[in-house]
Chains A and B, each alone.
Chain A
């Protein structure tokens, strides 16, 4: 869509700017302050420059956590995005069933995260959990407190359970906005199911898919509460993701300086990867619009 050039549009954006600015910029400045200073309490700070950053960049622990985090997010996106789209395509379009399935799909999203962690922790326990005891009865040696692969599998299945519905709901909303005439045109052309998906549904879902990919990336990259409750970062540190490590550092050891430097860099990594996603997907969007239909 060709947009009108009009700088007065700033006035429409102003409320958002003020609100988010208040909630974001001031707290961020506090974090920055901690990152470059050392303190012995009483609001007395002295400048240490980039020392904290140097410490964090060199730390082995941070590298390992970052690597685990990247692998986790990659697995999550690879499973949840295709699965979410597939489920959205199978949803009934209207009627009582459509309403009921939407409500059922949304259920996991509405459970506070510590409760999600608790549910899965109990659900997978070998002695009192349904899944854990079923696996044990089937002869699977399942122990998420001891086996790193079991812990990872549990966290991934839990995240798929928790978040795939988000992708599904967004895609479903995108699908609903496709006018029936497009499908009619597809039928007239005797388009295959795949062709309908590829040339009608997928392009129309692109906007919501961008949101879905970014949201899932960011939230899986910042995941804290659920692994903390289910595995506590273990066994060993095999499921200690960045946030878990960060909170350990900031609250457990009260190393505010390194923790602030850590969180700024953490933030920059998320920013960088999100920017790549954003640029790639908006460029795809523009290329498509240049082709006359």
Chain B
């Protein structure tokens, strides 16, 4: 995509014109805009559908709702199964993100700084836990959490999602921590910081972007999974996944409500990325100690 400059040293400065750079910038900006349009069109279609009546959805294609209606959203906000589905899902997702990042931080530090017995095997074993298809684990999870009396609680789903989120958080954090020079740690210890003080006050701010990214991914993978959360809950904790299956009934799929529910599932995540974007964007300040 970039114009490959065939010369590293030969071409004199005058022949590397500003126009060239500007052209390159415009091309890459154009590419980005095209890509974002590609991302947004299906979402636009979902939003568009959520404001249509079912009759209009099924009658053909129209770029804007002809018969604009809030009915689909009204259904969701007036029915406690629907809106409590969102609340319940948010509770276990937030719990999971907190647990995952908290336990992953010290582990990632250990992997990035120390070599210890079996470290490489352990690191790889952690990752293997992300490799088991969720469908495989649904039934065993149900048996396990029933037997320890956690079935149908938020914490059960939060713990179950740790299976794939903790390894991921360790991996992401380890990558970011490896980028922080070890001299940072050593200087801090020489300055008389304890491990805890150093970790919280100096090290964590340095990898803030990594923590943000890890938290975002934990949130995301916990939020989008509906299979395990549905398996582990029944009466007290009805999740959004359960609510969504109600859109298909004997009379066919309630497309409008399903679209509205889909639109609403995007919002919490969009808020989280908006909150995290500063951490991603900031990068980390090298040599801050």
| Interface residues in chain A, defined as those with a beta carbon under 8 Å from any beta carbon in chain B | 1-10, 12-13, 15-17, 19-20, 22-24, 26-28, 30-31, 86-87, 89-91, 93-94, 98-99, 101-115, 118-120, 122-123, 127-131, 133, 161, 165, 169-170, 172-174, 176-179, 189-195, 197, 207-208, 210-211, 214-215, 218, 222, 224-225, 242-243, 246-247, 250, 263, 266-267, 270-271, 274-275, 278
Is the pair B1, A86 in contact by a Cβ cutoff of 8 Å?
yes
Q: Kindly state whether residue B7 has any CB partner on chain A within 8 Å.
A: yes
Q: Which residues of B contact A99 (CB under 8 A)?
A: 274, 277-278, 281
A293 to B: closest C-beta gap in Å: 13
Q: Kindly state whether residue B29 has any CB partner on chain A within 8 Å.
A: yes
B269's nearest neighbour on chain A, judged by CB, is A110
15 inter-chain pairs at a CB distance below 8 angstroms, sorted by A residue, are A1-B178, A4-B113, A19-B162, A99-B274, A106-B269, A110-B269, A110-B272, A114-B244, A119-B43, A128-B58, A130-B61, A173-B210, A193-B24, A214-B127, A263-B133
Is the pair A274, B265 in contact by a Cβ cutoff of 8 Å?
no
The 10 A-B residue pairs with the shortest CB-CB distance in the complex, in nearest-first order: A110-B269, A27-B140, A192-B5, A176-B283, A12-B110, A9-B114, A207-B175, A30-B140, A90-B28, A9-B110
Main secondary structure of the interface of B (DSSP, over half): helix
Is the pair B178, A130 in contact by a Cβ cutoff of 8 Å?
no
B191 to A: closest C-beta gap in Å: 18
Is the pair A197, B2 in contact by a Cβ cutoff of 8 Å?
yes
Distance between Cα atoms of A93 and B277 in the complex (Å): 12
Q: Which of B199-240 contact A (CB under 8 A)?
A: 209-210, 213, 216, 220, 223-227, 240
A18 to B: closest C-beta gap in Å: 9
A130's nearest neighbour on chain B, judged by CB, is B45
Q: Which residues of B contact A266 (CB under 8 A)?
A: 133, 136
Starting from the known contacts A17-B122, A111-B269, A114-B241, 8 additional A-B residue pairs (CB-CB under 8 Å) come to A9-B110, A9-B119, A22-B159, A101-B36, A110-B223, A113-B225, A114-B226, A193-B5
